[in-house]
Amino acid sequence: MKNLRYTTIEGNSPRFLGLLAIYGFFLLLGFYAFVTMEHEGHWITGMTNQVIWGLPHVFAIFLIVAASGALNVASIASAFNKSFYKPLAKLSAVLAIALLAGGLIVLLLDLGRPDRLIVAITYYNFKSIFAWNIILYSGFFAIVGVYLWTMLDWQVEKYKRIAGTAAFIWRLILTTGTGSIFGFLVARQGYDEAILAPMFVIMSFSYGLAIYLLVLMATYKWTGRELGDAVINRLQNLLGVFVAATLYFAAVYHLTNLYITEHHGFEAYILRDGGLITNMFWYGQIVFGSLLPLALVYCPRPAKSRLAVVVASILVILGGMAALYVILIGGQTYPMTLVPGYEASSSFSDGVIASYSPSKWELMLGLGGVAVALLIVTFGMKLFSLLPESLSDKVTNPHKS
C-alpha cells in the first residue's frame, strides 16, 4: 500500500453542486430557525421549564459523540499502527472535526444567550463538567488539526504517531466528559450513573463508524473510484462489534436500575409505560438501531451486497438518535421524587410525566448542524487529498488477491 495516490475530489460535477445546494438549503433553514428563536425567545420551541434540553441537544450531542467516534479509524491506523487503516485515516480526522463543528454550532445557537460566546470562553468554573467540555472541544479541534497536518505534510510526518496517540487519548477523555454531563447530575433518576461515561464512549465508536462508512461509500461511488470488499468487510465487522458493545452497556445500565427499587418507576416509564419514549427505546434503539444492523452485518448474504452495509449504517445512526432521545428527553420528562412515599402535584408539573413535542424550529436547527458537518467534510475532500484514488482489494490487500 506504499504507492497509494491521494487526490482531491473534482468538485465541480452537477452531483457535487447539487450536494452543496442541499446543504445550503438546510443551512438556511437552520439559520432561520436560530434567528427566529433568538428573536422570539425559547417559548416558540417545544422546550419548557420541565424539558429544558430538547431536540437540538439530541442532534448536538449525537454529532459531538459521533465526532470522537469518527476519529477511531485514524486512531487504529496511527495509535495502534495498523497499516490497513492508514489510507482511511485522513478522512477520519476531517470527518471528526466536521461532526464536532456541526454539533457545537447547534449547542451554541440553542443557548439562551448565544451572543455571550465570549463569556463562555472567558469565564470558567472549573468544577463544572460543562466548562471542562468547552476546553475538551477546543482542544479536540487543535489536536486533531495537528494530527491531520502530520498526515498531510510529509515534512512533519514523523510526528504522526505521537499526534495520533494524543488525539486518541483526547477523544476518550472528550466523550467521557460528554457522558459525564449526565453522569454527574445527582438530581434526576435517569442520570447520576458512572456508567454513562463509558457508555457514551462506546456509543461514539458505533455512531462515528456508521457515519464514516456512509461517507466513504458515498464518496467512492459518486466519484467513480473503486472501493474493495476488504475495506468494507473490515469496517462492517468493526461496526458489528461496536453495536454489540453498545447493547451490552445499555443492558447493564437498565439491569442495574431494575435491581434498585428506587429506580423501578423510572425503568417502568422507559421500558413499559412511556409511550413514545418506550417505542423509541424498544423499536428505535434496540430492534432497528441495534439488532437489525447486527443481523445485516453478520448474517450471510449475497457476496458484495453493499446495500446491507448502507442500511445497517443508516439504522445505527437513527438508532443512535433514538437512544439519545430516550436518555435526554426520557430523563427529563420523568418526574423527580421530592418526598419518598408521596405523590406530588403542582402548577409546575411536579409528580407527572412532563410533555414534550419538538417544534419545527428545533428540527430545523438540528438539521442545520448536520448540514454544517457535511459541508465541512465535502469541502475538506475538495481542498485536501484525503482519500486514495483506489481502495480496491488489489491495493489494500495485495497478498489475498
Could you say which of 186, 304, 399, 400 contacts another protein (CB under 8 A)? 186
Q: In whole angstroms, how close is the CB of 359 to another protein at the nearest point?
A: 12
Residue 195: which residues within 8 A CB-CB, separation 6 or more?
183, 249, 252, 253, 256
Among residue numbers 13 through 42, which ones bind another protein (CB under 8 A)? Answer: 40-42
In this chain, which stretch among 84-92, 210-218, 270-278, 332-340 interacts with another protein, using CB under 8 A? 332-340
Q: In whole angstroms, how close is the CB of 354 to another protein at the nearest point?
A: 8
The C-alpha cell at 357 is: 413535542
**Alpha carbon separation from 345 to 100, 338, 351 (Å, rounded):** 41, 10, 5
List b or e across 280-303, with b for residues whose CB sees 16 or more CB atoms inside 10 angstroms. Answer: bbbebbbebbbbbbbebbeeeeee
Q: In whole angstroms, how close is the CB of 273 to another protein at the nearest point?
A: 17
Could you say which of 48, 165, 233, 385 contacts another protein (CB under 8 A)? 48
Distance CA 324, CA 64 (A): 12
Q: In whole angstroms, how close is the CB of 43 to another protein at the nearest point?
A: 4
Binding of residue 229 to another protein (CB under 8 A): no
Reported residue count of the chain is 401
**Helix (H) or strand (E) segment spanning residue 290:** none
Q: In whole angstroms, how close is the CB of 189 to another protein at the nearest point?
A: 11
Could you say which of 82, 161, 188, 254 contacts another protein (CB under 8 A)? 188
In this chain, which stretch among 47-55, 141-149, 263-271, 288-296 interacts with another protein, using CB under 8 A? 47-55
Binding of residue 123 to another protein (CB under 8 A): yes
Residue 16: which of 218, 216, 317, 228 has the closest Cα? 218
DSSP 8-state secondary structure symbol assigned to residue 123: -
**Concatenated DSSP letters of 75-92:** HHHHTS--GGGGGGHHHH
**Concatenated DSSP letters of 137-204:** HHHHHHHHHHHHHHHH-GGGGGGHHHHHHHHHHHHHHHHHHHHHHHHT--SSTT---TTHHHHHHHHH
In this chain, which stretch among 193-201, 242-250, 272-280, 334-342 interacts with another protein, using CB under 8 A? 334-342
Binding of residue 261 to another protein (CB under 8 A): no
Nearer to another protein, 10 or 343 (CB): 343
**Alpha carbon separation from 102 to 51, 133, 261 (Å, rounded):** 23, 16, 40
Among residue numbers 127 through 156, which ones bind another protein (CB under 8 A)? Answer: 127-131, 134
Nearer to another protein, 43 or 154 (CB): 43
Distance CA 286, CA 294 (A): 11
Could you say which of 4, 19, 20, 111 contacts another protein (CB under 8 A)? 111
Nearer to another protein, 223 or 332 (CB): 332
In this chain, which stretch among 68-76, 215-223, 337-345, 379-387 interacts with another protein, using CB under 8 A? 337-345
In this chain, which stretch among 6-14, 177-185, 305-313, 365-373 interacts with another protein, using CB under 8 A? 177-185
Site residues (CB under 8 A) for another protein?
40-43, 48-50, 52-53, 111-114, 116-117, 119-120, 123-125, 127-131, 134, 181, 184-188, 332, 336-339, 341-350, 355
